[in-house]
Every structure is written in structure tokens, then in C-alpha cells.
Amino acid sequence: MSLNNFLLLPIIIPFFFGMLLIFGQRKLVYQRSFALIGIGLALLSAISLLFKVKTDGIQLVTFGNWPVPFGITMVADMVSTLLVTTTLLIAFFVIWYGFGSINKERERFFYYPGVMFIVTGVNGAFTTGDIFNLFVFFEVLLMSSYLLIVLGGEKEQLKGSIKYILINVISSALFVITVAFLYSVVGTLNMADIASKIAAIHQPGIITVIAVLFLMVFGLKAAIFPLYFWLPTSYHAAPIPVLTLFGALLTKVGIYSIMRTYTLFFVHDLGFTHQLLMVLAIFTIIAGCIGALAYFDVKQIIIYNIVIAVGVILFGVAQMNETALKGAMFYLVHDMLIKAALFMLIGMIITITGTSDLRKMGGLLKKYPVLGWSYLIAAFGLAGIPPLSGFIGKLLIAKGGFEAGNMWSSVFILASSLLVLLSVIRIFVYAFWGQEQPTHTQQTMDKKTYRTLFIPTIFVVFISIVYGVGAEWITPFMDDAAKLLSDPSIYIDAVLKGE
């Protein structure tokens, strides 16, 4: 077995197309079409990989034909494959959306290679089975995100990117230090091998310290409670398609890494590590809710909703039972889709009105009814109104919380949905109802741009609806993922013994 390079295709194809796009920098047609073709091909391979993993179980390949703990192993299990597929799906529509939104100067200056490399990094981080390789893929996606956040060189972008780069350089240094600590204790970098070594020494105190250090490192990337301070200003600076990519993908890589390390490595002192994770998750939700309600800026409201979702997912991870982990997986994929949809929608609102200040908007529903109603559906999906996508995940997370005996905090998770709903419905009330504002009556977006922005957006909204309504079809995939997360021995055996 294990002669299986197929699982590498969703990583290699965007990488390869990114290289090709460095040539022909100024030819817009070439840049656009090749970017779409590349992501499309990668998406097709990811979907077929998803079904292969479903039928044949975990797929893995070790680079260079080396025996397992010595080479870099890439592991495609249900968790990573689901996330890879979602990533490519979102990237496809964001690139399409960018045709009408990113300006031509940016497109001619390596915007598309940047997107391709960021997708390479994200997919690689999801798929790798080696902790140092995870660091390298983090750097791949961070480098590309530095390019994308600063590309264009506006004043606000420069301000936001300095903060962003500084924070990420610090957290990357901390990542290397933490990996060094871990390596000096267990003497291996392969994730499955690390997990089995930690199990063999029953997680002594130093491993718990390393667990907290990892929580700090990935918490800085994922924006958990005391470490989320950089996110609102940095993300606010980026142009909308870039913001969509960041909001939908980057913090999720941090969440995935916490999920992976806390369900695979550090599972022997749950009373400390997972309790800490749960408390931080709850504070994250509180902090996010405060931010989401405090602002009148549409971008900031959705950005703080990212922080809330991070808290909800990590709360599910902290319960460490199969129900809550299944909920966390459901909610993670839902959140990637719905955040992409919401950012694309508010991007359209901002382009139409020419402002991101809610108090200067109003009456859009008269001219743009379809936009208005699809925004309302997306908002309901985010809050988790039953047939829509956010429902099943949050339900399972709360159920898992009750099963684990965390009564009040689970009730709190459910209650926080109301605040989420309030924060996004405020946008609907201010922007779509009320009097039409004079600021945006003169300028109407021309039909062609509107269509290029609207079609990919409606696709993403539609996919999120299907994801909610068709939860029945997705459940078997999520069951596999939850089983894998709640029982680390499945992963360890698959990688080390090749079962």
C-alpha cells in the first residue's frame, strides 16, 4: 500500500499553477483563466479524494520512499480531506468574485500567484502528518498572506500589515521554540509517532506545559480570547476578496491545528488542558459578541463574528466526546462557507453604497431585492436557524457539552446565538430597510460588475443552504471524522502500522 500520491494533488496543483502564473504577469486573461482552471482541477481531485477516503479509509504517502517515522508523511483522513475540499471550493468562488472586485493593478502584480500559494499552504497544513512540516506550511500560507494584505499599498493596508506581520513573526518563533521543546522530550516529529510516544510516557508535566504553549501558538493564529487583539485591525485593512480568503481560511488553520494536537497528542490530562481550552473558548465568544455588537462598521461586525465562531468550535473540541467533536467538524465547515458568503455579500453592499458605515446606508432592498434576501438567508444560516447550515453543528456541540456535564456553558453557547443573530440582523435592518440614502442613489453599479460579483456569491450562499438542508448526506463523512478525532489510536495505527 501507501504508494498513493493521489492525496498530494490538491496541494501540488495550486502550487504548480502559482508558478505558471508568475510568468505572463501583465496578461489579465491568462492570469484569470489559469487561476480558475488550476483551482478547479484541484477541487475535482479533492472531491474524488473525499470519496476515496470515505470508501478506503485513511490515505497516506511518505515522501521519498522512506520508512514511516523517518520521512515526512502526508495523511489524508476524513478531517483534513473535508477541510481541503471546502478550502478549494471557497477559493474557486473567491477568485471568480475577485474579477469584479480586485482592481486591475493588483491583478497585474502577482495577486493570483499569491492566492494560489496561500491555497497551497492551507491545504498542506491540513494534510501534513509532521509537526515541523506543519510549521513550514504555516509559513507558506503566512508569506502569501503578507503579500495579499499589503498588495495595493494603501495607507490603511500598510498600517494593518505591519501589525499582522509582527504578530505572526512572533507566533512563528514561538512555534519553532515549542516544536524544539517537544522534540527534546519525545525525540520525533512525525505526529503519529509523537502521539504514541506521549501515550507511552503518560504525558508528564512538561508535555502539559508544551500543550499550553501550542495553545498559545495556534491561538495567536486562530484568534482565541486574549490573543485575538491583532485580528480586527489587520483584517479590516485587506480588500474584500482577500478578506474573504483570510476570514474563511486562515483562522481555521489555527483551529484545525488546535483540534489536531488536542485530540491526538495531549489527551492524557484532560482535566487541565481541555478545561483551559473550554474557559478560553467561552471568553473568546464573549469578546467576539461584545465586538460584533459594538461596531457600526459592516466589516468589523463580520470580523468579530469570526472570533465568536472560533470560540464555538473550540468549545466543541474541549468537550472531547464524539458528539461534540462531530458538532465541531460540522460547525467548522459551515463556518468556512458562511463566512465566505457573508464577506462576499457585505463586499457587494460596500461597493454599492460606497461606505462601510451602517448609519450611512439604507433602503437597498428596493433596488437589490435578491441581494437583500440572500443576505438574510446567510445571516440566518450563521445564527443557526434550523433548516440552515449553522444549526446541526451548534446543536451537536451543545449536546456534547451536556453529555460532558458542562450544563451552564452549553446553555451559554446556545444563548450566544441570539447575540450573533442580533449583530448580523442589524446589518440587514440598517442597510436594506429604511430610507434610501442620498450617498448611494447617484452611483449605481454597472450591470456587468454586479453580475460578476453576484453569481459567485449566490453560489456560495446556495452551497451553504445545501450543506444545511442536506446534513443527512454529509453526516456519514462527519461521523468518520468524529470517530477519528475522538479515538487517536485510529490515526496512530493507520500511520505507524499502515492499517
Which residues in this chain contact another protein in the complex, by CB under 8 A?
Answer: 2-3, 5, 8, 12, 15-16, 19-20, 22-23, 25, 61-65
- Least separation, in Å, of the C-beta of 468 and another protein? 37
Q: Which three cell numbers stand for residue 319?
A: 468537550
Half-sphere exposure of 85 (CA within 13 A, CB side): 20
Beta-carbon contacts of residue 173 (< 8 Å; ≥ 6 apart):
none
> What end-to-end distance do the CA atoms of the chain give, in Å?
9
Residue 203 region by backbone torsions, left for phi larger than 0, else alpha for psi between -120 and 50, else beta: left
Q: At what angle do helices 191-200 and 251-264 cross, to 10 degrees?
A: 40
Q: Decide whether 28 or 415 has the Cβ nearer to another protein.
A: 28
343 touches 244 (CB < 8 A): yes
Half-sphere exposure of 474 (CA within 13 A, CB side): 22
User: Other C-beta atoms within 10 Å of 493: how many?
Assistant: 15
133 touches 170 (CB < 8 A): no
Q: Decide whether 8 or 39 has the Cβ nearer to another protein.
A: 8
CA 482 to chain centre: 18
Q: Decide whether 72 or 385 has the Cβ nearer to another protein.
A: 72
Q: Decide whether 2 or 444 has the Cβ nearer to another protein.
A: 2
- Least separation, in Å, of the C-beta of 5 and another protein? 4
Please tell me what DSSP assigns to residue 445.
-
- Least separation, in Å, of the C-beta of 64 and another protein? 4
- Least separation, in Å, of the C-beta of 70 and another protein? 13
Q: Decide whether 60 or 313 has the Cβ nearer to another protein.
A: 60
226 touches 153 (CB < 8 A): no
Q: How far apart are CA 300 and CA 304, in angstroms?
A: 6
Q: Decide whether 4 or 208 has the Cβ nearer to another protein.
A: 4
Q: How far apart are CA 124 and CA 190, in angstroms?
A: 15
- Least separation, in Å, of the C-beta of 19 and another protein? 5
Q: Which three cell numbers stand for residue 195?
A: 502521539
Instruction: Kindly state the helix (H) or strand (E) to which residue 226 belongs, with its residue range.
Output: none
- Least separation, in Å, of the C-beta of 120 and another protein? 11
- Least separation, in Å, of the C-beta of 78 and another protein? 22
- Least separation, in Å, of the C-beta of 127 and another protein? 12
Q: Decide whether 4 or 437 has the Cβ nearer to another protein.
A: 4
338 touches 382 (CB < 8 A): yes
Q: Decide whether 113 or 400 has the Cβ nearer to another protein.
A: 113
- Least separation, in Å, of the C-beta of 320 and another protein? 34
Mapped onto helix, strand or coil, the DSSP state of residue 89 is: helix
Q: Decide whether 62 or 416 has the Cβ nearer to another protein.
A: 62
